[in-house]
Amino acid sequence: MSSAPPPADHGFHAHPSGEGAREDLLRFLDREAAVAQATNGRLAVLLVELRRVDRLQALLKGPPAAVTLSLVIERLRPALRPEDRVAALSDEQVCIVLPRIAHPTQAVLAAVKCLRALDRPIAHEGGTAVLRPCVGIATVPENRADPAQLLMAADVARRIAGTREEGYHVFQSEDSIEAEVYHGLDIDLQRAIRSNELEVHYQPQVTLDDSRPVAAEALLRWRHPTSGPIAPGTIVGIAENTGIIGSLTFWVLNAVLRYAAQLAKDGITPRFSVNLSTRTLVDQELPDIVEQALGTWGIPAERITLEITESSMIGDAERTMAMLTRLKGTGVQLAIDDFGTGYSSLAYLKRFPVDELKIDRLFVSGLLADRGDHQIVRSVIDLAHNFDLRAVAEGVEDEPARAELARMGCDLVQGYLVSRPLPEREFRSWWTAREKRA
């Protein structure tokens, strides 16, 4: 196979040293960022890390870096548009620029396509290798349009993506701090689980027709003794990366059920939602753990909803469906979280034994300002009702959005308009007061 870079008509450039590619990329980014700013448009930067690249290079004859990049870029080409720009920054990193995208989720979809393209084994004369890539994403206008800053943001997101089962991460403003405190926290987290130093806060969900409280999502909190509050995504990432996600899930589930049992003594019986990491879906003991915990605390199974992200269906859908069927057999309810990003096949949705679709807050935030977001929200609500599922909107922060969701027929809402996530004592007080008003 030739090590020459692919034709330039697709905007592809691969320099083994990485220096020429970086300079070209910065110039291209600078120009496209200026276009985006002038037109109120969007662009995205994807930084792809080729993990296990040494295994592929061991198979190759000739200049390893050049041949590796040629193979990788050949794989990426069908996943991208002709106007997208690809540059190899090193023999382990490839940067992709997506100019003039319509929505941030387009960048996520491109990342997923790239992951799929590179996750398949790459065959060569000496055998096959799997790269196990991860992708960091930074978007404009969500971030500054400065090219160097965008690359830095994508690199931070790339490091976080390396700890996530999904394999990608979109840079958020808090991620710079998150990345700094991430390293060295694994031992502290194990100790925190053993010593009950974690907390669970609860964000209420209310009906749209009469604002009656019916449920709450359990959200993990950890205040590190020296680093302060640690973002929930970081906690889960550490747990997944160090193999203690099972212990963390067990702790959260039992903390929620213990609290539910306390509330039930006073006649307070909300339905609680608990998020499941993608990695826990491969744990064959999970249904037995759930069933045992429900029995220990005496909580009816239908009062617990287990949430999985829509992206968890990207991989082995059949295996995921088998696990969800077993979980459903315990009597719990199931929800697909962050719905609307476009990964799910309708055929799978019809077969999955779920009870609820949660509309991604990204679309809810743009409900009134963006026609595309409005259409997506409406479509998800209609889809949920066509499948006899509940539709829950996340991230509702103002009355106009709530009113529009009510007009669309959404069933439940959660967000700061209703309440921020509350610690146990405050949640009890909020719930009691709200029930009296309803």
Question: pLDDT tens for residues 186-220?
Answer: 788 989 999 999 999 999 999 998 889 999 999 99
Is residue 93 pLDDT above 50, yes or no? yes
Of 173, 194, 228, the residue that ends a domain is 173
Q: Does 97 lie in the same domain as 32?
A: yes
Q: Is residue 227 part of a domain?
A: yes
- The C-alpha angle 425, 253, 349, rounded to 5 degrees, equals 115
What confidence category does residue 160 fall into, taking pLDDT thresholds of 50, 70 and 90? Answer: confident
| Three-state SS at 88 | strand
Q: Does 149 lie in the same domain as 236?
A: no
Global pTM value: 0.64
Q: Does 86 lie in the same domain as 68?
A: yes
Q: Is residue 3 part of a domain?
A: no
Question: How many domains is the chain partitioned into structurally?
Answer: 2
Print the domain residue range for 124. Answer: 8-173
Q: Does 403 lie in the same domain as 353?
A: yes
Place of tokens 């669309």: 408
Q: What is the pLDDT of residue 25?
A: 72
Q: Does 378 lie in the same domain as 234?
A: yes
Q: For the residues 41-54, what does the mean pLDDT come to?
A: 79
Cα–Cα separations (whole angstroms), residue 117 to 66, 76, 78, 192: 19, 6, 9, 39
Q: Is residue 403 part of a domain?
A: yes
Of 113, 140, 173, the residue that ends a domain is 173
Q: Is residue 292 part of a domain?
A: yes
Whichever domain contains 203, its CATH number is 3.20.20.450
Q: Is residue 1 part of a domain?
A: no
Highest average pLDDT, of 53-67, 153-167, 349-363, 382-396, comes from 382-396
Q: Does 295 lie in the same domain as 199?
A: yes
Q: Is residue 388 part of a domain?
A: yes
Determine contact, residues 111/348, Cβ cutoff 8 Å: no
Whichever domain contains 92, its CATH number is 3.30.70.270
Of 141, 173, 205, the residue that ends a domain is 173
